[in-house]
Amino acid sequence: MPDTPKPSDLPHAAAPPHVAAVPADAGEGRGRTALADGVVEKIAGMAAREVPGIHALGSGLSRTFGAMRDRVPGGRASISRGIKAEVGERQTAIDIALVVQYGVVIPELAAAVRRNIIAAVERMTGLEVVEVNIAVNDVHLPDEPDEEEGEEPASSGGRSRVQ
């Protein structure tokens, strides 16, 4: 029976540059888990959308291109629009661009978005979120048409609409 190679003797495939290899749990020691930047971006996008007061994610230009892409047959909305993540072996940093509803207190909204993103990303990936940088690019006024859908927004009855 031939000798079984030790794990240290086996070649390890390097992850592509946009994918981070995350160490397995401390007690495991039996491999690595690779996380693409897009995984963290999607988790962050979902977490941000859960916070009341967010009208849309992304800058005006990215929302315009995204809306056109969404209208193409077979196209679908991008959960990670307006979000950029840098993923390392144990940590991640996230940048997010927002459009907020008129009337929300922006510092409170930013703190809530930051908390929600950090909690979701750390829980789901095991990565430490070292920073969440938030850029508020616009305020959506109640009488403005919804630029992503090309129609008037529905009345929210005083509550913020989350997309």
CATH number for 60: 3.30.70.1350
Domain annotation covers residue 25? no
Domain annotation covers residue 54? yes
Domain annotation covers residue 113? yes
Lowest mean pLDDT among 59-63, 69-73, 75-79, 151-155: 151-155
Token reading at 76: 């679908």
Give the number of domains in the chain: 1
Across all residues in the chain, what is the average pLDDT?
Answer: 76
Domain annotation covers residue 104? yes
Q: Do the Cβ atoms of 82 and 58 come closer than 8 Å?
A: yes
Phi/psi of residue 63, nearest 5 degrees: -70, -40
Domain annotation covers residue 108? yes
For 107-136, how does the pLDDT look when each residue is reduced to its tens digit (9 = 90+)? 999 999 999 999 999 999 999 999 999 999
Q: Do the Cβ atoms of 80 and 42 come closer than 8 Å?
A: yes
Q: Do the Cβ atoms of 146 and 152 come closer than 8 Å?
A: yes
Range(s) of the domain holding residue 96: 37-140
Domain annotation covers residue 109? yes
For 11-39, how does the pLDDT look when each residue is reduced to its tens digit (9 = 90+)? 444 444 456 655 545 456 788 888 999 99
Distance in angstroms (rounded) separating the CA atoms of residues 49 and 162: 6
Domain annotation covers residue 15? no
Report percent pLDDT > 90 for the chain. Answer: 50
Q: Which residues of 39-54 are buried (b: 16+ CB within 10 A; e: fewer)?
A: bbbbbbbebbeebebb
pTM: 0.67
Domain annotation covers residue 125? yes
